[in-house]
Chains A and B, each alone.
Chain A
Amino acid sequence: MTQVARKPAAPGAEPVATRPVRRLLPSRRLERTLAVLTPVGLLLIWELAARAGAIDTRFFPAPSSIFHQMGVLAQSGELWTNTWASLRRLFIGFWVGLVPGLALGIAMGLYRPVRAALQPLVSGTYPIPKSALLPLILLIFGLDEPSKIVMVAIGVFYPVALNTAAGVANVSPIYYDVASNFGASRWNVFRKVAIPGAMPSILTGIELGVGLGLILIAIAEMVGAQSGLGYMIWNAWQVYSVETMYVGLLVIAVIGYLLALLLGAIGARLTPWRNGK
């Protein structure tokens, strides 16, 4: 689209010939190029600085050596085993946290007595750093898989429960009036009004929860685990393989980014009315 601007004409003045205005904002393509260019440029500077000896490669190994290490770990299978272990825990923990979080959030949003009874408890325990719960969780659930899954579940549960409750409670009362006036059954009120009305808020809760779950799985795997990306990073520190540490960080970053993309796409499917808004 071309934009055409007119100089403000003085009263009675001749209309000034129009001319296209130079775009002030960079185009989409330029933005995308910049988004890729920045990290690539940084890596390049890093690489050059490492080779020139300008930075201490004991702490900041050259990107080329990190990628090389990545290849080594991929070939030995170690990278896949650990990535898979983390993803599996994340996936199971996600559902273990999501289902009760949704159920409780909806109940709290719909029914005032439930909210009155549970809101202080949930809001009160929410600010406890979840990582501080790890020793207790290890004590209760042991060093095996369940403790890792529970950590992820706790991370997912809180934001989902609180955001769902707020979302359901904040659906404008006029929509319930409409539903009632047009004879909607309780089930339809739930399905057609409460849930879609709260959906944007629920999705925000899930996004926050997944982010928190990713943090917690890395922490949980650093203590007492024998697999997972968190374990890989911790182990790398112990055997002083800084490159492996960076590989772990890189993989976690990529997982987080891909999960955000996935959730964004799912969110767009679940709330088609917000597209192009």
Chain B
Amino acid sequence: MTVDEGRDVASTTGPAAAVSDKDPADVHISIRGLTKQFDVRGSTVTALDSLDLDIPRGQFLVIVGPSGCGKTTLLRMLAALESPTSGAVEVRHGGEGRPGNSMVFQGDSIFPWMSVWDNAAFGLTMRGVPRAEIRESVGHYLEKTGLSAFADAYPHQLSGGMRQRVSIARAFANDPDVLLMDEPFSALDEQNKTLLQAELLRIWDETRKTVVFITHSVDEAVTLADRIMVMSAQPGQAKAFVDVPFERPRDVLELRHLEEYGDIVYDIWQHLRDEVSRSQRQAAAAPATGRRRRR
């Protein structure tokens, strides 16, 4: 596998380069030259600029970056909800009859007209999985997310944190090859966020699926990730990769006590600082070319 040259992908910690030179069989998602451009009022905005990235199977990759750096665009292309302007995403499908990916969306994405149970069962129902299997899988993940007692409730009867738990249960119950998470906890308060991070890690530890998780919270990134990709402001590029060496299973609270935790957080902030101020200058200079509105 050839490593591209000439671009400043700063590899801060040795082995964590954009493109791994490990056994290619281990690579789950391979991204090459991925570019996405939008037309915003006649001018072309490059949201993502020729990104190269290999994600090994079973890795929990967290992407952090300033707002408008194309993180969500990248995730939507991985989910095939958007098509790239150029470049390619290759996913080595590992499952037999398993769906390629399931996404936990930012904000409220569970259907208000379905009960908690029907929401969590959505992916399986759409795929025509046998009823008994659905019952088992949905029952399992509703229990894991503490929602068993609310199976018949409708979303409007739940708190924001519980609604996001349903979204997580829906994605896990679908048993996808890859989990995509787009700032799933960004709308939650600090306590709920910490609680859900711990729950997510506990559930993830059962299966160790490949995860691509987007956040703007550095703490969240360090808490969850095996590897962190720091993105530059528009156009979005990989600015740095940081390995997070903490053992699993992790204790979300104890983790923050570790000296190394602070070091990694500091390290990421160093990378982010310039980008955040750059993205702010961009936003101030051209407010119209900010985030693209869909539809």
Q: Which B residues lie within 8 Å of A188 (CB)?
A: 126
Among B106-121, those with CB < 8 Å from A are 107-109, 111-115
Q: Which B residues lie within 8 Å of A277 (CB)?
A: 156
C-alpha spacing A180/B107, complex, angstroms: 17
Q: Which of A182, A196, A199, A277 has the most CB of B within 10 A?
A: A182
B43 to chain A minimum Cβ distance, whole angstroms, is 24
Q: Could you tell me if A273 and B295 are in contact, using CB atoms closer than 8 angstroms?
A: no
Contact (A184, B109) CB under 8 Å given A173-B295, A177-B81, A277-B156 = no
Q: Which A residues lie within 8 Å of B156 (CB)?
A: 273-274, 277
Chain B 89-114 near chain A by CB (<8 Å), digits 1 or 0: 00000000001011101011101111
C-alpha spacing A188/B109, complex, angstroms: 17
Q: Per DSSP, are chain B's interface residues mostly helix, strand or loop, or mixed? A: loop
Q: Could you tell me if A273 and B102 are in contact, using CB atoms closer than 8 angstroms?
A: no
Q: Per DSSP, are chain A's interface residues mostly helix, strand or loop, or mixed? A: helix
C-alpha spacing A117/B157, complex, angstroms: 40
Q: Which of A175, A177, A183, A271 has the most CB of B within 10 A?
A: A183
Q: Could you tell me if A199 and B126 are in contact, using CB atoms closer than 8 angstroms?
A: no
Q: Which of B79, B111, B115 has the most CB of A within 10 A?
A: B111
Which of B103, B115, B155 interacts with A181 by CB under 8 Å?
Answer: B103
Q: Which B residues lie within 8 Å of A272 (CB)?
A: 154
B266 to chain A minimum Cβ distance, whole angstroms, is 35
C-alpha spacing A177/B123, complex, angstroms: 12
Q: Could you tell me if B99 and A183 are in contact, using CB atoms closer than 8 angstroms?
A: yes
C-alpha spacing A273/B155, complex, angstroms: 8
Chain A 177-202 near chain B by CB (<8 Å), digits 1 or 0: 11111111100100011001101000
C-alpha spacing A220/B102, complex, angstroms: 56
Q: Which B residues lie within 8 Å of A180 (CB)?
A: 81
Among A31-64, those with CB < 8 Å from B are none
Q: Could you tell me if A182 and B154 are in contact, using CB atoms closer than 8 angstroms?
A: no
Q: Which A residues lie within 8 Å of B281 (CB)?
A: none
Q: Could you tell me if B79 and A181 are in contact, using CB atoms closer than 8 angstroms?
A: yes
C-alpha spacing A184/B108, complex, angstroms: 19
Q: Could you tell me if A183 and B127 are in contact, using CB atoms closer than 8 angstroms?
A: yes
Q: Which A residues lie within 8 Å of B170 (CB)?
A: 182
A16 CB–B CB distance under 8 Å: no
C-alpha spacing A272/B81, complex, angstroms: 31
Q: Which A residues lie within 8 Å of B174 (CB)?
A: 182
C-alpha spacing A244/B102, complex, angstroms: 67
B294 to chain A minimum Cβ distance, whole angstroms, is 6
Chain B 61-77 near chain A by CB (<8 Å), digits 1 or 0: 00000000000000000
C-alpha spacing A184/B103, complex, angstroms: 14
A17 CB–B CB distance under 8 Å: no
Query: Number of contacting residues on A, CB 8 A?
Result: 24
C-alpha spacing A173/B126, complex, angstroms: 18
Q: Which A residues lie within 8 Å of B185 (CB)?
A: none
B122 CB–A CB distance under 8 Å: yes
Residue of A nearest to B123 (CB): A182
Q: Could you tell me if A184 and B126 are in contact, using CB atoms closer than 8 angstroms?
A: yes
Residue of B nearest to A271 (CB): B113
Residue of B nearest to A189 (CB): B126
Q: Which A residues lie within 8 Å of B108 (CB)?
A: 174
Residue of A nearest to B82 (CB): A177
Q: Which A residues lie within 8 Å of B79 (CB)?
A: 181
Q: Could you tell me if B105 and A177 are in contact, using CB atoms closer than 8 angstroms?
A: yes
Q: Could you tell me if A181 and B113 are in contact, using CB atoms closer than 8 angstroms?
A: no
Residue of B nearest to A180 (CB): B81
Chain A residues in the interface with B (C-beta under 8 A)? 173-175, 177-185, 188, 192-193, 196-197, 199, 271-274, 276-277
Q: Which 7 A-B pairs have the closest CB atoms?
A: A196-B113, A182-B123, A273-B154, A184-B126, A181-B103, A273-B113, A183-B126
Apart from A178-B111, A181-B79, A183-B126, what 15 extra A-B contacts exist at CB < 8 Å?
A173-B295, A174-B108, A177-B109, A178-B122, A179-B126, A181-B101, A181-B102, A182-B170, A183-B127, A185-B126, A196-B113, A272-B154, A273-B113, A273-B114, A273-B156
| CB<8 Å pairs between A and B, sample of 24 | A175-B111, A177-B109, A178-B103, A178-B105, A179-B126, A181-B79, A181-B81, A181-B101, A181-B103, A182-B123, A182-B170, A182-B174, A183-B123, A185-B126, A192-B114, A193-B111, A196-B113, A272-B154, A273-B112, A273-B115, A273-B155, A273-B156, A274-B156, A277-B156
